[in-house]
A and B are shown apart, each in its own frame.
Chain A
Amino acid sequence: MQDTEQTVVGRVLRATTRGFACGTHSRRVGPPHDFGAFVRVPIANDGACCVIGLIYAVEIKDDQLVNELVMADGIDPNVLRDQRENRMVPVEIDVLNVGYGWRDGRGLVVNAAHSLPPRPPMSLTDVELCAAEEVYDFTQSCDFFRLVLNAPDVPSDDLLAAALRYAAFAYPEAERYAFMVRSGRHIARLLGSDLKRLSHVLALIRP
């Protein structure tokens, strides 16, 4: 989860305290951009305080030339590589804010609050993938579930399930089952009045 070359997700394009969008080049899209991944980015004018967020959408933009190429019977392999490696095909990643906290001496965000940050990140700030230790620390409490399940315009059920499956890998194997059970119980409390939705989310996170 934490190879230095693979930790940069992109740079902030626009942001609010509820979430932000960051951009990157299509050539760099990889595991750091997985749906449900935990990311962090410093908030505006404060390098120590970071937002913790969940990736909930990855959008690969097109243009008219790409649209034309899609219509072709077959795409020349060199044209394909030119489009993917040379052309500025932008990728936008949407992130939902679920917490914030301060970096420790190692630069990791621990003891984060499960709430919206005081300020959004500034544009062009580097967005990085959270380290396994940060994900482990952040998911010791389930308070951020509420922010995910109540977020508008976000596939919240699938996002929460993807985030929990993602977070499970930050746990030692012996602790994973207990983590998922604990998370499932908390979801049951939050969605107790909506059994259809509850059964859907539980089915998604069943170990």
Chain B
Amino acid sequence: MALEFNKIVEQVHKMSHMLDALDFDLGARLAVARERFANPPPLRVIRERVALVQSPQVSGYRGAIPLNGPAYEPVNAIYPAPPPPPSATIIAADGSQIYPNEQMPFHYYLINVGLFVYHHGASRVPEQLTIPRLAFHKDHVHDARGRVISARTVDARRTVREMQELGRLAWAKRGEARPLIALYDNHLLFGVNADVVGHKAIMRAYMGALVHLHDAGALLAGYVDNPVRSRVVIRLLYLLSLSDDEARRADLSSGGDLEGLKDIHLFNSVLRPGERSAIMVQNSPRNLAYKAGEGGGASYEIAFFYLKTSSGYQSSLARVDIPMWVARDRRAVDELHALLVAQCAMQGRNPYPYALTRADELAVVTGRDKQKLEDMINVELRKRGVEPVRFTAKEWGKALARSPKRKHDMGKAGGV
């Protein structure tokens, strides 16, 4: 049964009226945020306020804080795109997966990592590589109680594989033109919950991959396009509007009077194409663990900046996560900034890094790929007298009912 649109037309109209009200509300808050962003308090006050929210008396602040030391950049600083270096090596990684199917008589999952190398400033054909790995040993696909591992566990393992392969590739390319930019298609502040099988080992492996990238001298960047959930700078602006007493009493996990506004709203309105915001770090226990935890260190705290990219036709906002070993090096940040702007101008109207687009294309496992792999595995099962379960009765019923409706076409016959 198709969706009966005549029954939802009126509901869509009602929603449209509500959108008008929401937009008005957001516009007023954005004006307040822009005013606070343009006129931040003196650095001394900012430092005192940050020290307060990092003290044991106050908890729950998950907003941005400016960097300490020579890498400090004013909260409201905006930097235009520097000229790109004459040559560079840009590597990008992305991953895809097939989750284990509990219904199958034999359990397995697949992680496919796509890697792409772009030689900036050199007339060379870009390099591409895919690394598929099939996991089927019971120790890999079952938890300690013999249950099939969850999709979240596969996702966490995929993230680690992506970063490990990026690290290996960076190491292999360490002799190529510098700077060596390593692009990762997600945020860098990765974390796993305790329900993920082997969560501690996964975090150790992830930190190990970061160390490998650092050792290779790579300028690592986690690229988050259209970061609709980020509001760390909005939280900072709210914090800076409070007195010390108010800060102690306020719910700092919210945006206060700016609640509902996201960083993307603010930076879309204050950045012009090619510009980036100041580098800051997020105040969070997880980032603290990166900075001080096992396998980490001061170089592994994750910082970020916002970048407005443009293709000349469209612009887009991205949050770029960088480890502190990159954030502390102004020249590295400039090179990364310039090369990201250049990458985003390469694919027509779409302002997104070309290398990441290609890494995604290499990594993706389509429905047809999944079907082919299942067929290959089913052949092996049948050879050993095991009948694969292709569909449960429920799945088969859905497939039948959802199948394309056949037309009685009496016209065409044959023909190539």
In the complex with contacts A69-B347, A78-B125, A82-B358, A21-B416 CB distance below 8 A: yes
**Which B residues touch A82, using CB under 8 A?**
118, 125-126, 128, 358
**Which A residues touch B105, using CB under 8 A?**
none
Give the contacting residue for A16; candidates B124, B347, B415; CB below 8 A. B415
CB distance from B163 to the nearest CB of A (A): 24
Query: Interface 1/0s, chain B 306-347, versus A by CB < 8 A?
Result: 000001110000000000000000000000000000000011
Whether, in the assembled complex, B268 has its beta carbon less than 8 Å from a beta carbon of chain A, the answer is no
> How many angstroms from the CA of A68 to the CA of B313 in the assembled complex?
11
Whether, in the assembled complex, A15 has its beta carbon less than 8 Å from a beta carbon of chain B, the answer is yes
Question: Which chain A residues (60-109) contact chain B, with CB distance < 8 Å?
Answer: 65, 67-73, 76-79, 81-82, 85-87, 94
Residue of A whose beta carbon sits closest to that of B126: A82
**Which B residues touch A81, using CB under 8 A?**
125-126
B346 touches A72 (CB 8 A): yes
CB distance from B89 to the nearest CB of A (A): 12
A68 touches B347 (CB 8 A): yes
> How many angstroms from the CA of A73 to the CA of B312 in the assembled complex?
9
Residue of A whose beta carbon sits closest to that of B125: A81
In the complex with contacts A18-B415, A73-B312, A78-B119, A86-B128 CB distance below 8 A: yes
B416 touches A65 (CB 8 A): no
B126 touches A72 (CB 8 A): no
Whether, in the assembled complex, A32 has its beta carbon less than 8 Å from a beta carbon of chain B, the answer is no
> How many angstroms from the CA of A65 to the CA of B415 in the assembled complex?
31
Interface residue total, chain A, C-beta cutoff 8 A: 27
CB distance from A137 to the nearest CB of B (A): 26
> How many angstroms from the CA of A11 to the CA of B354 in the assembled complex?
31
**Which B residues touch A186, using CB under 8 A?**
none
B349 touches A85 (CB 8 A): no
> How many angstroms from the CA of A78 to the CA of B118 in the assembled complex?
8
Query: Interface 1/0s, chain B 361-400, versus A by CB < 8 A?
Result: 1000000000000000000000000000000000000000
Interface residue total, chain B, C-beta cutoff 8 A: 23
Whether, in the assembled complex, B83 has its beta carbon less than 8 Å from a beta carbon of chain A, the answer is no
**Which B residues touch A85, using CB under 8 A?**
125
Give the contacting residue for A14; candidates B347, B350, B416; CB below 8 A. B416
A76 touches B415 (CB 8 A): no
**Which A residues touch B361, using CB under 8 A?**
65, 87
A78 touches B348 (CB 8 A): no
Give the contacting residue for B414; candidates A16, A21, A69, A87; CB below 8 A. A16
Give the contacting residue for A77; candidates B123, B311, B350, B358; CB below 8 A. B123
Query: In this complex, which of B123, B361, B416 has the most chain A Cβ atoms within 10 angstroms of its Cβ?
Result: B416
CB distance from A153 to the nearest CB of B (A): 7
Q: How many A-B residue pairs have CB under 8 A?
A: 60
A79 touches B415 (CB 8 A): no
> How many angstroms from the CA of A1 to the CA of B348 in the assembled complex?
39
Query: Interface 1/0s, chain B 126-137, versus A by CB < 8 A?
Result: 101000000000
CB distance from B350 to the nearest CB of A (A): 5
**Which A residues touch B414, using CB under 8 A?**
16, 18
Whether, in the assembled complex, B241 has its beta carbon less than 8 Å from a beta carbon of chain A, the answer is no
Residue of B whose beta carbon sits closest to that of A67: B348
**Which A residues touch B348, using CB under 8 A?**
67-72
**Which A residues touch B299, using CB under 8 A?**
none
Residue of A whose beta carbon sits closest to that of B120: A78
**Which B residues touch A14, using CB under 8 A?**
416
Query: Interface 1/0s, chain A 2-46, versus B by CB < 8 A?
Result: 000000000000111011110000000000000000000000000
Question: Which chain B residues (187-232) contact chain A, with CB distance < 8 Å?
Answer: none
Residue of B whose beta carbon sits closest to that of A97: B416
Residue of B whose beta carbon sits closest to that of A84: B125
Query: Interface 1/0s, chain B 88-131, versus A by CB < 8 A?
Result: 00000000000000000000000000000011001111101000
Residue of A whose beta carbon sits closest to that of B312: A73
CB distance from B88 to the nearest CB of A (A): 12
Whether, in the assembled complex, B150 has its beta carbon less than 8 Å from a beta carbon of chain A, the answer is no
Whether, in the assembled complex, B357 has its beta carbon less than 8 Å from a beta carbon of chain A, the answer is yes
**Which A residues touch B312, using CB under 8 A?**
73
A68 touches B416 (CB 8 A): no
**Which A residues touch B416, using CB under 8 A?**
14-16, 18-21, 94
Give the contacting residue for B346; candidates A21, A76, A87, A152; CB below 8 A. A76
**Which B residues touch A76, using CB under 8 A?**
346, 354
Q: Which residues of B contact A (CB under 8 A)?
A: 118-119, 122-126, 128, 311-313, 346-350, 354, 357-358, 361, 414-416
| 23 CB-based A-B contacts, threshold 8 Å | A14-B416, A15-B416, A16-B415, A16-B416, A65-B357, A68-B347, A68-B349, A69-B348, A71-B313, A72-B346, A76-B346, A78-B119, A78-B125, A79-B347, A79-B354, A81-B125, A82-B125, A82-B358, A86-B125, A86-B126, A86-B128, A152-B415, A153-B415
Seed contacts A14-B416, A16-B415, A18-B415; 4 additional CB < 8 Å A-B pairs: A21-B416, A77-B123, A86-B125, A87-B361
